[in-house]
């Protein structure tokens, strides 16, 4: 059918369908040949991404048509720009928005949301927006080492990766609170302390990452400490000493230490080693004198303490050898067992003389601070002594020469009368006795004669006769018969005295 008109007034073609009882009319303004204006569609937040999978909200700019007028809007959804395989064309009347529901969209697919504006003549304009499904949250990383202790400061970078839509915003906090600061650039922590950095990101599809936490520390202060050699002793006689160490750190704690004997610090000779409270150490030089040990401590962040030191005097030199002991009080032989010995003193460099050790017959019996040692009431015997000196750090001198033996004799002599009785008038009287002594030997044997007054009086010394082995004394002959009462007294070299019972001698004709 062909219609032709001569003017520009509107012309309508009306078609009637007749089936006998019902009529249907359709009038078409076939003079409208221009399309409606394009409805510019925006889906969800307009970024082209969404995390919704069962519905999509879309809105579009209002379209108009000056001729036949806007009849309606329709939308459709497809998996390619011209497809309607997800949702076929559906009218929404003259609304400029719609929520398409009951969808089953899947990541990471892209869908095309199409909108048509249709005019009264059935002509349409269309726009569409691609929207990609992103249901995966972003992943944010703090580019620092978990648990690490940073020296002085640390700059924290938050790195975000996101599949599909990409990062929208990242939030963080450094004080263990919920993250609310918007991350725009790396931030620096330079105050000493422990930090719980919390952070999360949101992608452009609206996926929210769960909050992550990274713990780090910043340590800006060096440790402080101390050192004590041999618990603070003044002297040592060994280059091997024990160091007592103490260190404190307000930040991440003391972890390392290093030592020097001369306050020079070489990476190889003075290496860092784990911090402990007790350490065996060599003073280095074996030359006697004042020695120092220097120490430095390091905290876990690498802050290094000041240098601390202690000193000790090395004394490896023994005292001089004391002189040979000699009897300085009392006698030898000696019957009391009480006497003193002395010796010439020792001297000592550095730590000084502490005492002398006294040895009697090879056994140490005591110590004295001065150069004299006294014995009291020793039992009978022969005693010899030697001495050694000890300085204040325990160095021992050699032994002195041994003393001459000192004799203690507590045994009285044994005396047996050997005089034969009776003896004759006119003949010399010979007194004889067998006299022996243990230990010190006989000093003197004396004849005691009883006097008229009853007392005994010394009457000469008996002398030893080698031939008979007896002590004897010869007294002048008596002229008349008589009786003589006498005793024999023997004294040993220690002064022990034996006086016999009284004997009777009869002088007869
Ligand atoms: Ca994502
Ligand atoms: Ca520190
Ligand atoms: Ca010494
Ligand atoms: Ca004796």
Alpha carbon of 430 to ligand 2 centroid (Å)? 108
CA proximity to 413, closest of 495, 504, 503, 331: 495
The helix/strand/coil state of 232 is helix
Give the separation between CA 373 and CA 331, rounded to whole angstroms: 15
Alpha carbon of 208 to ligand 1 centroid (Å)? 9
Identify whether the C-beta of residue 419 lies closer than 8 Å to the C-beta of residue 433.
Answer: yes
Identify whether the C-beta of residue 320 lies closer than 8 Å to the C-beta of residue 347.
Answer: yes
Alpha carbon of 137 to ligand 3 centroid (Å)? 79
Alpha carbon of 344 to ligand 3 centroid (Å)? 18
Query: What is the pLDDT, as a whole number, of residue 18?
Result: 56
pLDDT digits (tens, 9 = 90+) for 143-201: 999 999 999 999 999 999 998 999 999 999 999 999 999 999 999 999 999 999 999 99
Alpha carbon of 303 to ligand 2 centroid (Å)? 6
Query: What is the pLDDT, as a whole number, of residue 8?
Result: 47
**Ligand closest to CA 132:** 1
Name the band, by pLDDT with cuts 50, 70 and 90, for residue 14: low
Average pLDDT over residues 343-360: 96
Alpha carbon of 80 to ligand 2 centroid (Å)? 63
**Ligand closest to CA 438:** 4
Alpha carbon of 28 to ligand 2 centroid (Å)? 89
Alpha carbon of 159 to ligand 2 centroid (Å)? 29
C-alpha distances in Å from residue 196, one per residue of 37, 142, 172, 307, 409: 56, 11, 10, 34, 92
**Ligand closest to CA 255:** 2
Question: Does residue 395 register a pLDDT over 50?
Answer: yes
Alpha carbon of 199 to ligand 3 centroid (Å)? 69
Give the separation between CA 23 and CA 27, rounded to whole angstroms: 13
Alpha carbon of 456 to ligand 4 centroid (Å)? 23
Alpha carbon of 228 to ligand 3 centroid (Å)? 22
Q: What domains sit in the chain, N to C, each tagged with a CATH number?
A: 41-133 (2.60.40.10), 139-219 (2.60.40.10), 228-314 (2.60.40.10), 326-408 (2.60.40.10), 414-508 (2.60.40.10)
CA proximity to 392, closest of 229, 228, 231, 234: 234
pLDDT digits (tens, 9 = 90+) for 448-505: 999 999 999 999 999 999 999 999 999 999 999 999 999 999 999 999 999 999 999 9
Alpha carbon of 462 to ligand 4 centroid (Å)? 18
Question: Does residue 6 register a pLDDT over 80?
Answer: no
pLDDT digits (tens, 9 = 90+) for 283-335: 999 999 999 999 999 999 999 999 999 999 999 999 999 999 999 999 999 99
Alpha carbon of 351 to ligand 3 centroid (Å)? 5
Alpha carbon of 105 to ligand 1 centroid (Å)? 15
Query: What is the pLDDT, as a whole number, of residue 442?
Result: 97
**Ligand closest to CA 151:** 2
**Ligand closest to CA 314:** 3
CA proximity to 88, closest of 65, 126, 109, 114: 114
User: In 10 A of CB 198, how many CB atoms?
Assistant: 21
C-alpha distances in Å from residue 421, one per residue of 249, 358, 417, 432, 505: 108, 56, 11, 11, 6
**Ligand closest to CA 225:** 2
Name the band, by pLDDT with cuts 50, 70 and 90, for residue 341: very high
**Ligand closest to CA 222:** 2
Question: Does residue 17 register a pLDDT over 90?
Answer: no
CA proximity to 486, closest of 460, 448, 453: 448
Question: Does residue 30 register a pLDDT over 80?
Answer: no
Alpha carbon of 158 to ligand 1 centroid (Å)? 17
Alpha carbon of 131 to ligand 1 centroid (Å)? 13
Query: What is the pLDDT, as a whole number, of residue 101?
Result: 95
Alpha carbon of 183 to ligand 1 centroid (Å)? 18
Alpha carbon of 497 to ligand 2 centroid (Å)? 88
Query: What is the pLDDT, as a whole number, of residue 22?
Result: 57
Give the separation between CA 404 and CA 393, rounded to whole angstroms: 31
Question: Does residue 1 register a pLDDT over 50?
Answer: no
Residues at Cβ < 5 Å from ligand 1 ion: 134, 136, 162, 164-165, 203
Question: Does residue 2 register a pLDDT over 80?
Answer: no
Average pLDDT over residues 221-246: 97
Name the band, by pLDDT with cuts 50, 70 and 90, for residue 419: confident
User: In 10 A of CB 211, how many CB atoms?
Assistant: 14
Alpha carbon of 53 to ligand 1 centroid (Å)? 14
Query: What is the pLDDT, as a whole number, of residue 421?
Result: 80
Alpha carbon of 236 to ligand 3 centroid (Å)? 10
pLDDT digits (tens, 9 = 90+) for 186-233: 999 999 999 999 999 999 999 999 999 999 999 999 999 999 999 999
């Amino acid at each position: 059918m062909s219609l032709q008109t001569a003017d520009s007034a509107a012309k309508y073609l009306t078609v009637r369908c007749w089936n006998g009882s019902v009529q249907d009319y359709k009038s078409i303004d076939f003079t409208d040949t221009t399309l409606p204006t394009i409805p510019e569609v925006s889906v969800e937040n307009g970024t082209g991404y969404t995390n919704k999978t069962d519905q999509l909200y879309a809105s579009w700019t209002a379209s108009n048509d000056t001729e036949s007028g806007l009849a309606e809007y329709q939308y459709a959804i497809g998996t390619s720009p011209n497809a309607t395989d997800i949702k076929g064309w559906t009218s929404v009347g003259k609304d400029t928005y719609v929520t398409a529901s009951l969808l089953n969209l899947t990541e990471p697919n892209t869908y095309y949301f199409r909108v048509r504006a249709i005019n009264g003549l059935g002509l349409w304009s269309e726009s569409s927006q691609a929207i990609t499904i992103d249901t995966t949250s972003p992943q944010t990383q703090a580019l620092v080492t978990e648990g690490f202790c940073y020296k002085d400061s640390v700059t924290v970078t938050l790195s975000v990766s996101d599949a599909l839509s990409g990062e929208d915003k990242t939030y963080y906090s450094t004080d263990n609170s919920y993250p609310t600061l918007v991350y725009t650039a790396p931030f620096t922590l330079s105050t000493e302390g422990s930090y719980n950095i919390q952070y999360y990101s949101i992608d452009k599809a609206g996926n929210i990452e769960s909050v992550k936490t990274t713990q780090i520390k910043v340590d800006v202060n060096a440790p402080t400490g101390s050192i004590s050699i041999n618990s603070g002793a003044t002297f040592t006689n060994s280059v091997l000493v024990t160091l007592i160490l103490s260190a404190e750190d307000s930040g991440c704690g003391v972890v390392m230490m290093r030592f020097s004997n001369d306050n020079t610090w070489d990476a190889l000779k003075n290496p860092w080693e784990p911090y402990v409270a007790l350490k065996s150490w060599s003073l280095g030089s074996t030359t006697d004198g004042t020695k120092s040990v220097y120490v430095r401590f390091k905290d876990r962040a690498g802050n290094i303490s000041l240098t601390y030191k202690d000193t000790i005097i090395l004394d490896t030199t023994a005292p001089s050898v004391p002189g040979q002991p000699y009897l300085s009080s009392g006698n030898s032989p000696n019957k009391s067992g009480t006497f003193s010995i002395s010796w010439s003193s020792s001297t000592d460099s550095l730590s000084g003389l502490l005492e002398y050790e006294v040895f009697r017959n090879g056994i140490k019996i005591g110590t004295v601070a001065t150069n004299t040692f006294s014995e009291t009431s020793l039992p009978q015997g022969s005693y010899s002594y030697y001495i050694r000196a000890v300085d204040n750090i325990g160095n021992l001198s050699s032994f002195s020469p041994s003393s001459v033996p000192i004799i203690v004799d507590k045994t009285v002599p044994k005396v047996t009368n050997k005089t034969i009785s009776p003896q004759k008038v006119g003949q010399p009287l010979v007194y004889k006795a067998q006299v022996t002594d243990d230990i010190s030997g006989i000093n003197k044997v004396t004849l005691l004669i009883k006097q008229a007054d009853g007392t005994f009086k010394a009457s000469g010394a008996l002398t030893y006769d080698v031939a008979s082995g007896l002590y004897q004394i010869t007294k002048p002959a008596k002229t008349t018969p008589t009786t003589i009462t006498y005793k024999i007294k023997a004294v040993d070299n220690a002064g022990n005295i034996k006086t016999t019972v009284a004997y009777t001698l009869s002088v007869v004709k």
